[in-house]
Amino acid sequence: MFSRRRFLLASSSLVALTPLLGFGSSTQYPFTLGVASGCPRDNSVVLWTRLAPKPLQGGGMPSGIVAVRYRVCSDPSMKTTVRQGVVQTSEIKGHSVHVTVDGLRPGREYWYQFYLGDDDSPIGRTRTSDSQALTTTLALAACQHYESGYFGAFRDLAKWAPDCVIHVGDYIYEGAARPLYTCDENNSKDLERQVVRQHNGAEITTLWDYRNRYALYRLDSDLQAAHAASPWIVAMDDHEIDNNWANNTPQDPWAQTELEFKVRRLAALQAYYEHMPLEHPPVINGIDATLHMHDVYRMGPAQIHLLDTRQYRSDQVCGQGFPADFPCDALQDPTLTMTGQAQEKWLFEHLRKSDAEFNVLAQQTWFSPYRYAENDKAKQWNMDQWDGYPIQRQRIIDRLADVSNPVVLSGDWHCANANTIHRDPLDSNSSIVGHEFATSSISSNCPWKSAVHDAAPLNEHVHYVNGDKRGYLRSTVTKNNWKSEYRVMDKQTSAEAKASTDYEFNTRDA
């Protein structure tokens, strides 16, 4: 057992900082939201926690600077310390704690823990990346509406403990609490209206609201277990701020002005940073804020380009989403962008330099086309997905055609699929460029699943589609194969749901 006293005496810098602690055992337990790690590199990883003795009431820490100790060990029983230190936090960042630990060895497991006063955090397990490794395991997760179901998929994910978890957004939902409503799990129409547990309060718009909403989600033990099991890389989608937002434009500009939306965006980006194992806080300039989320990671045979398709996006054309207004000449505008020009240039540079066997775009919305009708009538496309940005999509496909084994990972639509990406994405007779694997959702419903299932025959490039079940995607990557296993939960309204594999795709067989 680790001795706190011995730890304090072991480091003179810690002794100097002890007067800052001022936070003893008389206060409530501060590590209610668990621990997390992220941004895995060959020699470093980011560790996270947040001090929140009253998690649903703004956190509940007294104001002022607090010093938190941490240790990183090479064993799960926390006996052999390889790194340790002290990090300060305060109410300025919601008493969140971010530590970049470097000097680590590639492809190694580490265990870590935070300490404040007499309190110890839960112990987390993390793992550095290994760019030379011959194999890696990756989980893909998205869309976890708290009211719609339990997070059993995260329990299954935590048991698997992959090298890295990729979360592509809708980590929280911004909506107001709805009345509890339980229903017959076998009645699929009713299932979409279920509320198994409630959001805290009205629709969230302020930093206080966003903090309390993240805290609500983070109190879930299955979500905490998934964070404590593996390092995560994360980029938000829309519901971390507001449905279908694009850059500084909300989906309902008639209901919130640009000024109001910018203030909301600033609060939401700050709260996202405070709850994620991210290296950098938002860059704030007046009321304009941006958060660095897109980045490149190398996990053995896979080079992962994590994209941010919201902060720099052009507003959706011809209707905000699904269904769209057709015909839509604006779709042919080459300046329409999901990523912004700078991020596109950054992506193309990394693709050009890559020597990886698999080149991955991990991003939010469905990349391949999905036809909902055979003609140009309304409902043919979803304008919030890449079908609303076809010229940029073609530019990306043209670049992917020049790299080894492109794989696109997607979320957003609460419906799992496996696609072949063609050089002309609308012509399944054109050459095959790569594959797309979309995860379903951890718990969010798919009320449009009949439209998706009914249209499957119109989409020859789609090998698998399933909007019925909640779950996540497991990928096992070797030099010669990318295996995607679609994990599904047997129930979403039960906290004891069981997981199984519904479908498996191997690129070596394609």
In the shown chain, the binding pattern of residues 410 to 449 toward Ca ion, with x for contact by CB under 5 A and - for none, equals --x-------------------------------------
Cβ proximity to Ca ion, 212 vs 309, nearer residue = 309
Q: Report, in Å, the least distance between residue 378 CB and Fe ion.
A: 22
> Which of these ranges, 21-29, 150-158, 235-243, 245-253, lies near Ca ion under the rule CB under 5 A?
235-243
Interface contacts to Fe ion, rule CB under 5 A: 143, 170, 444
Cβ proximity to Ca ion, 156 vs 238, nearer residue = 238
Q: Report, in Å, the least distance between residue 81 CB and Ca ion.
A: 41
Cβ proximity to Fe ion, 306 vs 356, nearer residue = 306
Q: Which does 238 bind (CB under 5 to 8 A by kind): Ca ion, Fe ion, none?
A: Ca ion
Cβ proximity to Ca ion, 222 vs 237, nearer residue = 237
Which tokens hold the place of 200?
């805290």
Cβ proximity to Fe ion, 55 vs 471, nearer residue = 471
Q: Among residues 238, 242, 274, 357, which is the contact residue for Ca ion, using CB under 5 A?
A: 238
CA angle 283, 143, 232 (to 5 degrees): 55
Cβ proximity to Fe ion, 170 vs 209, nearer residue = 170
Cβ proximity to Fe ion, 163 vs 412, nearer residue = 412
CA angle 495, 239, 395 (to 5 degrees): 120
What interhelical angle do 207-218 and 258-275 show, nearest 10?
A: 40
> Which of these ranges, 58-66, 93-101, 183-191, 407-415, lies near Ca ion under the rule CB under 5 A?
407-415
Angstrom distance (rounded) from CA 198 to CA 290:
30
Size of the site for Ca ion (CB under 5 A): 4
φ/ψ of residue 196, rounded to 5: -85, -20
Q: Report, in Å, the least distance between residue 445 CB and Ca ion.
A: 13
Q: Report, in Å, the least distance between residue 157 CB and Fe ion.
A: 17
Q: Report, in Å, the least distance between residue 402 CB and Ca ion.
A: 30
Q: Among residues 156, 220, 222, 237, which is the contact residue for Ca ion, using CB under 5 A?
A: 237
CB 301 within 8 A of CB 477: yes
What is the CA 438 to chain-centroid distance, rounded?
13
Q: Report, in Å, the least distance between residue 235 CB and Ca ion.
A: 12
Binding to Ca ion by residue 384, rule CB under 5 A? no
Q: Which residues pair with 493 in a beta bridge?
A: none
Q: Report, in Å, the least distance between residue 184 CB and Ca ion.
A: 27
In the shown chain, the binding pattern of residues 136 to 175 toward Ca ion, with x for contact by CB under 5 A and - for none, equals ----------------------------------x-----
Q: Report, in Å, the least distance between residue 281 CB and Fe ion.
A: 25
Is the C-alpha dihedral spanning 307, 167, 194, 179 positive or negative?
Answer: negative
> Which of these ranges, 41-49, 54-62, 230-238, 486-494, lies near Ca ion under the rule CB under 5 A?
230-238
Q: Which does 156 bind (CB under 5 to 8 A by kind): Ca ion, Fe ion, none?
A: none
Closest C-alpha among 381, 244, 263 to residue 314? 244
What are the DSSP E strand ranges found in 380-441?
Answer: 406-410, 416-422, 432-438
- Block residue for tokens 């339990």: 150
Give the list of residues 6+ apart from residue 185 with CB closer than 8 angstroms, or none. 191, 491, 492, 493, 494
Cβ proximity to Fe ion, 137 vs 385, nearer residue = 385
Give the list of residues 6+ apart from residue 276 with CB closer than 8 angstroms, or none. 36, 38, 48, 232, 234
395-405 burial, b for 16+ CB within 10 Å, e for fewer? Answer: ebbebbeebeb
Is residue 55 reached through a cis peptide bond, with omega within 30 degrees of 0 on the bond before it? Answer: no
Q: Report, in Å, the least distance between residue 237 CB and Ca ion.
A: 4
- Block residue for tokens 């926690």: 49
φ/ψ of residue 376, rounded to 5: -90, 25
Closest C-alpha among 187, 218, 202 to residue 59? 218
Which tokens hold the place of 360?
């991955």
Cβ proximity to Fe ion, 170 vs 308, nearer residue = 170
Q: Report, in Å, the least distance between residue 441 CB and Fe ion.
A: 6
Supply the DSSP symbol for 54. Answer: B
Cβ proximity to Ca ion, 31 vs 232, nearer residue = 232
* Residue 382: strand, helix, or coil: coil
Cβ proximity to Ca ion, 237 vs 242, nearer residue = 237
Instruction: Write the DSSP string, 270-314.
Output: HHHHHHS--SSPPEEETTEEE----EEEEETTEEEEE---STTPP
Q: Report, in Å, the least distance between residue 384 CB and Ca ion.
A: 8
Binding site for Ca ion (CB under 5 A): 170, 237-238, 412
